[in-house]
Amino acid sequence: MNTLIGLLIIAVGSIGQSSSYVPIKKVKSWAWESFWLVQGLFAWLLFPYLGALLAVPEGHTLTEVLAAGDGAALKALFYGALWGVGGLTFGLSMRFLGVALGQSIALGTCSAFGTIIPALLAGTDLLSGSGLALLVGVSVAIAGIAIIGFAGSLRSKNMTDAQKKAAVKDFALGKGLLVALLAGVMSACFSLGIEAATPIKELAVSLGTKTLYAGLPAIFMITLGGFFTNAVYCLFQNFKNKTLKDYFSVSGSDFINNILFCALAGVLWYSQFFGLELGKSYMTESPIMLAFSWSILMSLNVTFSNVWGILLKEWKGAGTKTVIVLVTGMAVLIISLILPNLLM
């Protein structure tokens, strides 16, 4: 029962993340790099910081919680900076491929690397027992994502250039696939950061923090590292493209509109990792599901992002066969969520 509750919490967070790119479409008169930086202030700084404060027990400070041994906070910050490259290219993959296909490719790669690498570093035998169940679950998830990627290639063949541009303004399949793959590999560093920050979580619990919130300070350090990476790139693009004026070129209701929608995008994006940490606290009785939690989140993100892709008419004109392949891939992903638990 607890595992089911954990899955539901992760699913709610995933719905938030998959919806986070929708508010960005409502931002007016700002270049990509401008709204990406502003939403990042909310997604990677403000809301993660507020979340981390929930893990600070009475009589202690966040600084104390982050002062865990072995330099865990610095390691999390480092992995966060690497993940920031993935987050940056992840946004570009949405730009070139759309919400559905962009997230499918990027998150599929992220799912595989983010689940398998920590398991290997922990010395898990992937050819027997729980390790094999983990490997099978990840493999099925990758298969589902590959099917969705195939649906994306069918869509590209079936749609005219005009239809592609109507669905995704800057659609570019080749460039988008390369960016999405890079995004997936680098985004997996978030999972590595969570593992490296385990001492922070353990210290928080020892100080009296509820297990439910203990992982949130680590999330803050990882997103902080990611913010630095993204801020440097976005400000560089602001100078290069002469778009620094964006932040001051809108006023009144348009400025309020942009800030509110960036804030909404930020809190929706952060909800995935807030939900992941809360959900994992209900999975302690099932080590295999705990190890598979990262892949679960990524698979749910892919599933819900494709639901949004359908609602936003990104698949309009793709053809019935393509939609059937898409739905099949989503079904395989859903099966992958429960498969490891069934195998144990």
The DSSP result for 221-247, as a single string, is HHHHHHHHHHHHHHHHHHHHHT-TTHH
Q: What is the pLDDT of residues 250-296, one digit of tens each?
A: 777 888 899 999 999 999 999 999 999 999 888 877 777 777 787 78
pLDDT value at residue 22: 81
pTM listed for this prediction: 0.79
> Rounded to 5 degrees, what angle do the CA atoms 263, 264, 270 make?
85
pLDDT value at residue 164: 53
The sign of the dihedral angle between the CA atoms of 335, 278, 20, 181 is negative
Tokens of 103: 């997230």
| CA 167 remoteness from chain centre | 23
The answer to which of 152-161, 166-175, 223-232 has the lowest mean pLDDT is 166-175
> Rounded to 5 degrees, what angle do the CA atoms 269, 275, 277 make?
120
DSSP SS3 for 86: helix
Average pLDDT over every residue of 130-150: 80
CA atoms within 13 A on the CB side of 239: 5
Tokens of 164: 């592609």
Name the residue with higher pLDDT: 220 or 103.
220
Q: What is the pLDDT of residues 40-57, one digit of tens each?
A: 999 999 999 999 999 998
Answer whether residue 122 shows pLDDT above 80.
Answer: no
Answer whether residue 340 shows pLDDT above 70.
Answer: no
Percent of the chain with pLDDT over 90: 27
> What is the rounded average pLDDT for all residues in the chain?
82
Q: Counting runs of H as helices and runs of E as strands, what totals does the chain give?
A: 15, 0
Query: Which run of H or E residues covers position 142?
Result: helix 129-158
pLDDT value at residue 229: 92
The DSSP result for 64-83, as a single string, is HHH--GGGHHHHHHHHHHHH
pLDDT value at residue 231: 93
Instruction: Please name the residue that has the structure tokens 């909800």.
Output: 271
What is the C-alpha to C-alpha distance for residues 341 and 21, in angstroms, rounded to an integer?
32
